[in-house]
Amino acid sequence: MARSMAVVDYDPVWPARYAEEVALLRDALGDECVRAHHIGSTAVPGLAAKPVIDILLEVRSLEGLDRLDSAMRAVGYRPRGEFGIPGRRYYPKGEDARTHHVHAFETGDPHIDRHLVFRDYLRAHPDAVDEYAAIKVEAAAKFLHDSEGYQAHKHDVVQRLLADAIAWAGRRD
């Protein structure tokens, strides 16, 4: 069975699922985990999403985190290394039926701010949420079992919304 890119309506239980999983991860990783953030579409109230909880972990060091791969495996995550993003550690939970993704960066990595600004921008801009939801639903309809096609179809909209989010964040500072 191939992994599905099905997009569903926002589920208000997603924040609780995030909180439960973070507690599990904090127990597994101890003080290597500095902070955790709910990111991705499931972190934006009202946004349609693939029902997979994205968690961003800020860690003390990637080397320290790498030494805890067995602890991540013990709680159901599969270490995948950088997986295309230098300075990241990526861990999916579940094979084709994914439930969670962990994206880990060392505290201070610029990718952290990018993820948080994008999330916060969407939370503050309902029109952007509607636009993003529409392209996600369209992408899922065209690329239900093709994650690369799904991502590529959304790419231009995501990049424009990210640029808008960065500009918006700059105006808030």
Domain that holds residue 71: 14-172
Dihedral angle computed from the Cα positions of residues 98, 158, 112 and 14, in that order, rounded to the nearest 10 degrees: -40
| Number of structural domains found in the chain | 1
- Residue 63 is predicted with a pLDDT of 98
Q: Name residue, tokens 């801009």.
A: 125
Any domain includes 94 = yes
pTM score? 0.95
CATH number of the domain to which 147 belongs:
3.30.460.10
Any domain includes 6 = no
- Residue 173 is predicted with a pLDDT of 61
Any domain includes 3 = no
Mean pLDDT, each 10-residue run in order, the chain (173 residues): 88 98 98 98 97 98 98 98 97 92 98 97 98 97 95 97 96 72
157/18 Cα distance (integer angstroms): 26
Any domain includes 5 = no
- Residue 95 is predicted with a pLDDT of 82
Any domain includes 4 = no
CB atoms within 10 A of CB 121: 21
Instruction: Give me the DSSP letters along 42-110.
Output: GGSTT--B-S-EEEEEEES-HHHHHTTHHHHHHTTB---TTTTSTTEEEEEESSSS--EEEEEEETT-H
Any domain includes 2 = no
Question: What is the chain's Cα-based Rg?
Answer: 16
- Residue 1 is predicted with a pLDDT of 55
Any domain includes 8 = no
- Residue 157 is predicted with a pLDDT of 98
